[in-house]
Structure 1
């Protein structure tokens, strides 16, 4: 299938509704959300919508970066980015926790917090960018937009000379080969009930170059 090219944009509040809709469709069938938000219990779709809404709301409230791909003014892919110094900012917010408790319940909020802390616990010390949410709209999958989004993310994060790279996680095993082909290495694994959440790291080009020079004794 021919590649579809999209425009890369940093997104603001005007895209909030589209972001929530896209991420809801991207995550509602993901095994990680199925476990965290108890898909076997009535009200699962509402809990997915609420979780996406509260995460994106807090992200935008704290003015953290969001990178998206746009085709003909339609948002087709998006990634929320947590800079190194703000990796725990959203889940440490008591306002966020209270809204999650009210919309998803105690058990789901507790599961999400434990999952988030376990993923971050897999990382070695150092400054990293983290992607709490990333997705391509299902209608546009298979058009190489995932590759374009990763390329844009790698280029954007590489501009921060203080960051060692980019971290994301997935409980969907069918994505692993895709991420590995694009330079990600697994740095940890988290057990979420029957799900195995894989924590993946992509080094910034500057970091790779530094390691190469050190290896050559330069």
Structure 2
């Protein structure tokens, strides 16, 4: 599905549909996630927001992450309205090969574009988060973002419903985890029945690991 992210009238939530992303949606998805995470304190710390080139490093990191998701055939859900991509979520499945170590060429590209420190901290972040999740088989919500022009219209909750459906379809999954670093987002996940597991400081930034058990998706 070809998508665009231009500033247009607010969509009718009743007509917005969740769809798995196609190859030609990835560029628009990366753009939405770049805007969503540009002011995230963890990404600002990892990719050195105070140093010149922060935007380029963050953009490159998100681009490589999305490419890795696509190559590993992991679920990337988009909300579309008349061909426009409005929101994106990227999920790691329980048995995915896209774990903390990623692919060797992902690391190489990240080193060349995002830098050694940023690459190392991205890997360490996921390793530390997973080490604090007391489950064996679960999905991981890695990225979620709504286009800035279409926020506060219920799209985030619609996207969460699509995520729940993906988790519910996997009978072996115990649920879905997420690492939240923006305090204002805690209530958003709590509204969808995510429970607090623990606080965790990564790269000097305090965050919260939250989990929604699969039975809560019923």
TM-score of the pair, normalised by structure 2: 0.89
| 1:124–1:87 distance in 2 versus 1, CA, 3 Å | farther
Compare CA radii of gyration and give the structure with the larger one: 1
Question: For residue 215 of structure 1, what is the aligned residue in structure 2?
Answer: none
Partner Cα separation in structure 2 for residue 108 and residue 121 of structure 1: 20
Q: Partner of 1:85: helix, strand, or coil?
A: coil
Partner Cα separation in structure 1 for residue 152 and residue 183 of structure 2: 17
Structure 2 unaligned runs (5+)? 1-9
Structure 1 unaligned runs (5+)? 210-218
Contact 1:189 1:197 in 2 (8 A): yes
User: Of residues 187, 203, 208 in structure 2, which corresponds to 1:198?
Assistant: 208
After TM superposition, give the deviation of residue 162 of structure 1 in Å.
0.5
1:72 equivalent to 2:79? Answer no
Partner Cα separation in structure 2 for residue 18 and residue 2 of structure 1: 17
Q: Partner of 1:196: helix, strand, or coil?
A: strand
TM-score of the pair, normalised by structure 1: 0.89
After TM superposition, give the deviation of residue 149 of structure 1 in Å.
0.5
Contact 2:64 2:110 in 1 (8 A): yes
Question: For residue 130 of structure 2, what is the aligned residue in structure 1?
Answer: 120
User: Of residues 181, 184, 199 in structure 2, which corresponds to 1:174?
Assistant: 184
After TM superposition, give the deviation of residue 187 of structure 1 in Å.
1.3
1:36 equivalent to 2:46? Answer yes
Root mean square deviation of aligned Cα = 2.0
| 1:3–1:202 distance in 2 versus 1, CA, 3 Å | farther
Question: For residue 164 of structure 2, what is the aligned residue in structure 1?
Answer: 154
User: Of residues 103, 115, 133 in structure 1, which corresponds to 2:113?
Assistant: 103
How big is each residue's C-alpha offset from its partner over 1:110-153, in whole Å with a ceiling of 9 and x where there is no partner?
Answer: 11111111111111132101111111111111001111000111
Question: For residue 187 of structure 1, what is the aligned residue in structure 2?
Answer: 197
User: Of residues 49, 52, 55 in structure 1, which corresponds to 2:62?
Assistant: 52
